[in-house]
Amino acid sequence: MTVIAVSFGSNINRESNIRTSVNEIRARYPQAIFSPVFKSEAVGFKGPYFLNLVATYQSDLGIQDVLSELHRIEDQLGRERSKDEMLSRTIDLDLLLYGEGIFYDQGFDVPRKEILVSAHVLKPLSDILPNMVHPVIGETLGALWDKTPGPKKALLTEAPLTL
């Protein structure tokens, strides 16, 4: 079994899309652990704020099958794919970690680079997997969050959404 970490983000019909996608993961992986939900502003474009969280669970699926599963949930919730990444989203499910695996130059990047640059990804990830070592950096996720500059941390607020 491989430890999987997935980020969730939505700024269109936020609460409904987050709940539906969480329920999809929970139905397939009852042992899944979910972080608190955070509110973050759209970055790089004007749009409504996002709700973000991270889930972790174990799976025996290969990485391509995990990605297909996440794309199926996105498609079910009306996700429109575009080369322009700076757009509002019904739901965005990103595979952050696939165990200790490092997968680059295969049409996807795992571990996702957003772990190291986006507070809305690192904070919820470090909340649920603080002792997991980042496969590339070699430091725990909790230590990486502790090193995050204060201004980045200030951009993030916990959202009052119960899952």
- At residue 38, the pLDDT reads 92
Which is more confidently placed, 152 or 122? 122
**Residue 66: is it exposed, middle or buried by C-beta count within 10 angstroms (0-12/13-18/19+)?**
middle
The pTM (predicted TM-score) of the whole model is 0.90
Longest dimension (CA), the chain: 40
Q: Per-residue pLDDT averaged across 71-100, rounded?
A: 84
Q: Is residue 95 part of a domain?
A: yes
Of residues 47, 148, 43, 139, the one with CA closest to residue 90: 47
Task: Of 15-29, 54-68, 87-101, give the lowest mean pLDDT range.
Answer: 87-101
Between CA 54 and CA 160 the distance in angstroms is 15
Q: Is residue 149 part of a domain?
A: yes
Evaluate if residue 46 carries a pLDDT over 90: no
Q: How many domains does the structure of the chain reveal?
A: 1
Q: Is residue 134 part of a domain?
A: yes
Give 115's DSSP letter: H
pLDDT, tens only, 97-128? 999 999 987 788 999 999 998 899 999 999 99
Helix (H, G, I), strand (E, B) or coil at 10: strand
Q: Is residue 163 part of a domain?
A: no
Share of the chain above pLDDT 90, in %: 65
Q: Is residue 56 part of a domain?
A: yes
- At residue 61, the pLDDT reads 97
Range of the domain at 143: 2-158
Of residues 7, 47, 49, the one with CA closest to residue 25: 7
Q: Is residue 70 part of a domain?
A: yes
Q: Is residue 107 part of a domain?
A: yes
Between CA 29 and CA 2 the distance in angstroms is 13
What is the domain-level CATH number for residue 79?
A: 3.30.70.560
Q: Is residue 147 part of a domain?
A: yes
Between CA 163 and CA 15 the distance in angstroms is 9
Task: Of 25-29, 33-37, 41-45, 152-156, give the lowest mean pLDDT range.
Answer: 152-156
Between CA 83 and CA 114 the distance in angstroms is 17
